Structure formats: structure tokens, C-alpha cells
Structure 1
Amino acid sequence: MSDEPVQTLVLDHIGYRYYRDTDGRAFLPASRNRVRLVTDIRKLDQARGDELAGVVGVPRGDETLLEAAAHFLDGVSERPTQRIVAISEGLLLTAARMRDRLGVPGPTEHQVLGYRDKVVMKERLRERGVRVPDFAPFTEANALELLRRHGAVVAKPRRGESSAGIVFLDDAEDVRRFAATTSKDELARYEVEERVDGRLFHIDSVVRDGVPLAAVAGRSVEETTSYRRLEAFRDVAVGPGATLDQLLAFNRRVLACYPDFSGVTHHEVFLTQGSGGSGDEVCFCEIGGRAGGGGIIPGFLSRTGVNLDEVVIRSQLGLEVPRPPEPAPHLTGYALVYAPAGRLDTDLTPPAEDWIIDTQLRFQVGDVMPRPAAWNQAAVTVTVRGETEAQVQARLDEVIELTLRRLRGRERG
């Protein structure tokens, strides 16, 4: 193996501070990487490190400009790009397309579509006998037929993120209204599927060649669209028992359908009541080839000592995915608290408690907060630990109540 640093192109929109651990250790150390970074122009101040050979800032959401900036950095470099890294869900396909164009090893567009496009992923899994919702690319006719078969359907952006753009369609009038008020180009980016009546869970795994090396599961207490009502969202890890065993078994079955995948997966499933009182059954919802959001990364780190973003980076660099230790017996959970639009004049940092393991503040005092438009746009995200599911949920409730009191005080002021 060459001792020369790898010429690494990084596509980013969350900020370069996430490419280091909490102690400042770089996931892309200068001794092994020469990094060309395309990042959110508002977060250029985070682009620091001896490994950086070039940095360009672009407005977040402008994919055309981001790709142009990436090709610029590749073109002006003395040595060609050898690896391309992207850890955010919305950039996985962009990175894959660039690998294909530049002949760079790593996940291809065809591979990434299997865990990025909701129609493609369900087609591939259904072919392999995995229970998935009844679905189709969105057309008015497809939606009406699924509505006839199932009584209620949901339209989702095929490559959407953070539950943005989801539309619940309860009857034929809802379907026709959605089709009539949405542009043709936008409708082509949607799928429609039966609305599964079940509880939502997720399984987060470190994976090598389609085999989970370590996995934990969590339960969504609220719907992921709770942000629309400004209601807090809670997620609690699943403790040992039959439910956890069932979730992990289904996860292994789904991951076996991705034998060429190594890295990190965030897998969402529904647990439904089986027919004839036969007990709970698992139904696929979606899967992503990246770390989950909210407090999933700090929760996994707390239980295994492994940072999921670092695993994603290692896998895209072609390095071996490490086998994490077995998850520790304590449990974790996280809460997302949303705020109404307005200026923040109160610090939302929770008080120091040994059971609070991570806090993410989206806004600082003085910032003007827009109304949240997606699940991940919480004003504050707090991750906690506890010995039981009940204790974790009680601690989340405590954090939520304190945060809401502060926000209500802001409104009175």
C-alpha cells in the first residue's frame, strides 16, 4: 500500500466539524489524506485542518453549483481524485454520479439508488421476498387504485429526506387535489404507497458485505411529521426481548439483499398486528446507506464507542469497516423540540446532568428561527441515557418540558 496521502474529494453541507470526533481527532487525518472540500458557504469557518488542500463554499441546496465546484477542485488539482466522500443522505447520489464519471472507486449510482430511491429499493426487496408496502410511482391512476385496495395511502418524495414533502391521502378527492395542484415534474419525483397501520421502529447497523456487525434499534414515540404541529418528537432505544430479536432478524434479512454494501445503514420498519391475532409482523418502510439523524449517532457512540459518521467515511475510502463491540446494556433515546417562527432570546441549553450525553442547538440567542419544514429542523436535540426504556422516556419528557417552558416564556415576553 502506498504511503502517499489519498486525494480525497469531500461533498458536504452539514459543516466540516462533523468530520472530527468530540476530542478533535480528524476522521480524514493529514497523514493519510489531501482533502478538497465543497461545503455550505455559511459554514466555511469550520473548514480548518492541515489535511485541507482546497475549499469552495456553495449555497446549500444548489446541486448543480455543488457539482461544478467539485469538478473545479478536481480539475485544478495536481493529482486526480482517488476517493469521493459524502456522509449526508442528500449528497450520496451526487457523490456516486461523480465516482462514475471520474472512474473513482466506491459506491456507484446503481448501487446507491438501491438505498436512496424509495421505488427502486422496494422493487429490489420485493423481488427478494421481503414484505414491503404496496406501492407504485405516483400517477393519479396508481394512487386511486392503491386507495381502492387499502383505504388510505401516502405520497412520498422518492428521494426525500427528513419526512419533508409527505402527503397523506385519505380519499379520492385528496388524490385528485394533490395531482391537480402539484406540477408534472414534481409528481414524477413522488411515489405512492399503502398507509401501513403500525408502530415505526428503526435499526442502525455497522455493516460489512451485507452482514451487520453491530446493530441497535429504536422506537419512534411520535410520528415523524410531528414537526408540522410543533410537537416534540421522542425516540427510545428498544431493550432486550422478543421485539428487539424480531427487529434484528428482519434487519439481517434485508441487509442480505445488499451483499456488496459495507458501511452504515439506517433502516426503518413498521411493526403491525398480524392477521388473525398471530402477533406482530414486520413490514419494511425504507433504508438508507448512512447514519441516522437526531440523536442516533451519539446514542450509538455511547453504547459501542463507535462514531457512525467515521464508519461511513472509512467505507467510502475503501478501508475495512471495523467490528464494534457489543452494545452496552444501558439504553439511549433522544428528543427533538421544535420552536415557532421568531427571534430566540432564551438559551435552550439543558442543565448539566450526567444522563444527558449530547445536545445539539440549531439556534443561538438572537437568531431568527424559521418555522420548521422538516423533521430534522428542531430547535434543540437532546440525547439521554438510562437503564430502562421507561427511564429514558421519563428523562426525555423532563428535557422537553423544560425546553417548552423556556419557549413559552419567550412568547410571553
Structure 2
Amino acid sequence: MKILVIHQVPYRKISYHRGVDHDEHEVTYIGRPASLRQIPADLRCSLVPLDEDDDLVAGVTARVRPSDGYEKVLSLSEFGILEAVRIRRHLGLPGPSESRIELVRDKVRMKEALAGSGIRHPRFVSAPPPCGPLPWSGKTVLKPRNGASSDGVMVLETAREALSVYRKLADPGNYQIEEHIEGDILHIDGLLQDGVFVELAASRYVNKPVEFADGLPLGSHQIPLTGAHRELAREVSIALGIEEGCVHLEAFHTADDELVFLEVANRVGGAGVVTAHERGTGVHLPSHEIAVRLGLERPPTSAPSGRYHGWLAFPGHHLPAGTAEVTLPPGLAGHPCVDRLYVLPPGRPLTAHITYQEWECPVFIEASHTDAAELGRFLRECADAITVVSATRKPALLRSAA
């Protein structure tokens, strides 16, 4: 099979070679030069670099033709799945429509598609009237319709304040307004094949993704999978027409034990989700997704650990440009819950953008325990005990909001 991979997600996060035999198939990676440098030098494949300032679709379609004979286009990035629709069309290949993909990219279209499904979700408006109130009055969220990693998300104390901020935005059409739901946030991660979940796991966040964007640590840990988790994932996939590939679904878990849909992506979860899932279940989600999308046999699995797994990431994007100074509790690296501890080497510059990558965060912990509640308690204690400050200008220490 001749396969074109639109390479955007770091190679070490996907490990394409685990899902497709590069000696058996003809694989071409196309992407930015920095991304292509991640491809292992001994991997049998072809590399096609894009210019740094290329529009993704225009850059790819300028370099590949229908006569090249590609049989599949593989795109696993949040910011490439819609573009891949246009590239497949250019190459004359079948695949989902733009309107179908928009249901997992556009947060307005996503919730509009849930109308009549019985799935509870936050009330929202895509374009409020020039004057007049919102249908609710309390805490309100402004978020980009096509965003990720909570970048650009704002939580305002009242609907009136949110409207005021919305009307001052330079690009209000790219935002939506929704009511704030009180409760913990869960994420449900799995893999669909022929419209059926063949993998599924549930996790509870430590702090909230929007708080990570504001400078607080973020983590999650696996919890027992319930029938309610399964049913929500199944109903959402049906309502949005998701039939194959990985799913990363977020939902509120309210005080009255109700699950309220937040949003969903048709791709693998970020941060430590892949590692936690593989250690807990023996299934490497990206390679299994690759096999499913290419119509290949799913790769072998390893033995489940019998433990609940989780992760905790500390941000650095909010600190002044420079390096970080990290303070860890004594003995953390040897703690029985800690599977792996990453600390950014002294002198390594902080990234200016939001990142959950363990090799870019000032501190990143992978942890596990036989008891989900104990694992959650440990991660919350770490969120409170670890400090990350600028080595050049030291602001107030981070404190968990948990």
C-alpha cells in the first residue's frame, strides 16, 4: 500500500512504525522540516518537506499528484484532519466529508448536532444578538470554535461580563459563548472500529485544562469505567457520526452524579494519555488507530499492569522568557507511585506556547497505583508541593486550585 502521512504530531507520540510495517508498505511523510527531522533515520520511508510558511493544504497539493498512486492519506493531528479531507479530494481518494469532520472540530456544529439526542450539554450561543441578555446569567465561558489545549478560553463571572468581552473581540465570529457547568471534568478515551468501541477508558482531571493555560499544573488519572461512561461515549459517537479512529471525549461530572458533555475530538488524547492507556490496558492507541484507519490488522498488545495510571504536567509558557527553577519534594523520584519523573534540564529555555509534552514541560510526572482514589490524592499533593518559577525573575509560586 502507498501511504501519505501528513506528519504534525511529534513522532515519539505516535510511533508510526508500530502501526504500519514500513518494509511492507510504501510510506511517505510530508510536513515541516522540523517535524521531518523527528523521523528515525533507519526507517524505510520517503520525506517531502514543506516550506515553513506554506499553507498546509496548498503546500501538500503542490507537491503530490493523483498520478503518484497514493492509496491512503493518514492525518492524526487536531489541526490536520479537516485539511486531509481536501488533500484526499485532490488525490481522488475516498474519505469523510468536510461537514462530517467539522462536527469534531467546530464546537458550535458539535453541540448543534446533539440537538434531540438527549445528551445534556452546556447551553450556548454562536452569535448573540447585538443587544439583550443571554439565556442564563451566571458564570460563562468564551472559547474559540476550533481551538485546542484551552488556548484562548476565558471564564467570566457573569453572562453580562462575557457579552461585554465578546463584543470587544477582534474576531468574535471565531468564538462561541456557553454556560459554565460546575463539576469535575472527566476524559474518556477509546478507539472505534466500524462504529463500535474496541477500547475505552475513563480518567478524572486534576485541576482543569483552562487552568493550565493560566499557569496551574494539570493532570489526570484513570478511574473505574462505568456503564454511564460507556453510554455517553456510544451516544456521542452515534450523534456525531464518528465511526473509526481514536476519541478523546471530555465531560463534566456534576455533584448530582450526572455526566454533561463538554466536547470531543476524533484523535488520540494528548499529554500522558497514550502512555497511561498503554500501561493500564496494554494497548498503544496511536498504532491501533493507524491500523484501523489503514484497514490493517491491529498490532499485538502487551500485558495490562493491573494498576490505574495517570500523569501531572507543570506549565512554563506563562513565565517570563528564559529558564525555570524547579523545587521538588524530597524523595519524589523514588516514591512508589512514580513510574517516571521528567524535569527540564537546568538552562533549557522554556517554550512560549502551551505544551503538554513531557520533554518540554518544566516538570512532568507519570504515576500509578492499584487504587484510583489514592492515585488522585497523590497527584493532587504533587500539584500543591511542587513549585516552578522563572530562574530570571521569580513570580509568586504556583499553587494548585484543587
TM range (shorter): 0.7 to 0.9
Using the alignment, how far apart are the partners of 1:93 and 1:360 within structure 2?
A: 33
**Residue 68 (str. 1) matches residue 55 (str. 2):** no
**Residue 177 (str. 1) matches residue 164 (str. 2):** yes
CA contact (8 A) 1:140 1:176 kept: no
CA deviation profile, 1:254-303 (whole Å, cap 9, x unmatched): 22335551111011111224xxxxx4211111111111111110010001
Secondary structure at the residue paired with 1:128? coil
- Residues 141/238 of structure 1: CA separation in 2 closer, same or farther (3 Å cut): farther
The runs of 5 or more residues in structure 1 that have no matched partner are: 1-5, 274-278
> Please, what TM-score do these two structures have when normalized by structure 2?
0.83
More off after superposition, 333-342 vs 368-377: 368-377
Residue of structure 1 in register with 2:294 after alignment: 317
CA apart distance, 1:411: 6.2
Residue of structure 2 in register with 1:249 after alignment: 231
Using the alignment, how far apart are the partners of 1:114 and 1:324 within structure 2?
A: 31
**Residue 14 (str. 1) matches residue 9 (str. 2):** yes
Using the alignment, how far apart are the partners of 1:117 and 1:35 within structure 2?
A: 30
Pick from 72, 78, 83: which aligns with 1:83? 72
**Residue 206 (str. 1) matches residue 191 (str. 2):** yes
Q: What code does the residue aligned with 1:69 have?
A: G
CA deviation profile, 1:384-406 (whole Å, cap 9, x unmatched): 1111123313443565567527x
- Residues 137/321 of structure 1: CA separation in 2 closer, same or farther (3 Å cut): farther
Pick from 23, 32, 40: which aligns with 1:31? 23
Pick from 106, 116, 119: which aligns with 1:117? 106
CA contact (8 A) 1:140 1:179 kept: no
Using the alignment, how far apart are the partners of 2:80 and 2:281 within structure 1?
A: 27
More off after superposition, 82-91 vs 31-40: 31-40
Secondary structure at the residue paired with 1:13? coil
Pick from 269, 273, 277: which aligns with 1:296? 273
**Residue 56 (str. 1) matches residue 39 (str. 2):** no
CA deviation profile, 1:20-68 (whole Å, cap 9, x unmatched): 27xxx54333223322222333343212344322320443xx5x53223
CA RMSD of aligned residues (A): 3.3
Using the alignment, how far apart are the partners of 2:368 and 2:337 within structure 1?
A: 5
Using the alignment, how far apart are the partners of 1:100 and 1:360 within structure 2?
A: 42
Using the alignment, how far apart are the partners of 1:391 and 1:189 within structure 2?
A: 41
CA contact (8 A) 1:301 1:308 kept: yes
Secondary structure at the residue paired with 1:367? coil
Using the alignment, how far apart are the partners of 1:161 and 1:341 within structure 2?
A: 23
Q: What code does the residue aligned with 1:15 have?
A: P
CA contact (8 A) 2:19 2:299 kept: no
CA contact (8 A) 2:143 2:175 kept: yes
> Please, what TM-score do these two structures have when normalized by structure 1?
0.81
Using the alignment, how far apart are the partners of 1:358 and 1:56 within structure 2?
A: 34
CA apart distance, 1:320: 5.4
Secondary structure at the residue paired with 1:99? helix
CA contact (8 A) 2:277 2:285 kept: yes
Pick from 23, 37, 52: which aligns with 1:45? 37
Structure with the largest fraction of helix: 1
Using the alignment, how far apart are the partners of 1:68 and 1:353 within structure 2?
A: 50
Using the alignment, how far apart are the partners of 2:246 and 2:124 within structure 1?
A: 26
Residue of structure 2 in register with 1:98 after alignment: 87
CA apart distance, 1:372: 4.9
Residue of structure 1 in register with 2:320 after alignment: 341
**Residue 367 (str. 1) matches residue 348 (str. 2):** yes
CA contact (8 A) 1:341 1:370 kept: no
Using the alignment, how far apart are the partners of 2:48 and 2:385 within structure 1?
A: 40
- Residues 321/328 of structure 1: CA separation in 2 closer, same or farther (3 Å cut): same
CA apart distance, 1:347: 8.5
CA apart distance, 1:171: 3.5
Using the alignment, how far apart are the partners of 2:265 and 2:118 within structure 1?
A: 19
CA apart distance, 1:207: 1.4
CA contact (8 A) 1:227 1:375 kept: no
Q: What code does the residue aligned with 2:363 have?
A: V
CA apart distance, 1:91: 1.4
The runs of 5 or more residues in structure 2 that have no matched partner are: 395-402
CA apart distance, 1:351: 3.2
Residue of structure 1 in register with 2:398 after alignment: none
Residue of structure 2 in register with 1:162 after alignment: 149
CA apart distance, 1:357: 3.9
* % identity of equivalent residues: 24
Using the alignment, how far apart are the partners of 1:346 and 1:29 within structure 2?
A: 43
CA deviation profile, 1:79-103 (whole Å, cap 9, x unmatched): 2222111112121111122123322
CA deviation profile, 1:169-188 (whole Å, cap 9, x unmatched): 333652343234322xx211
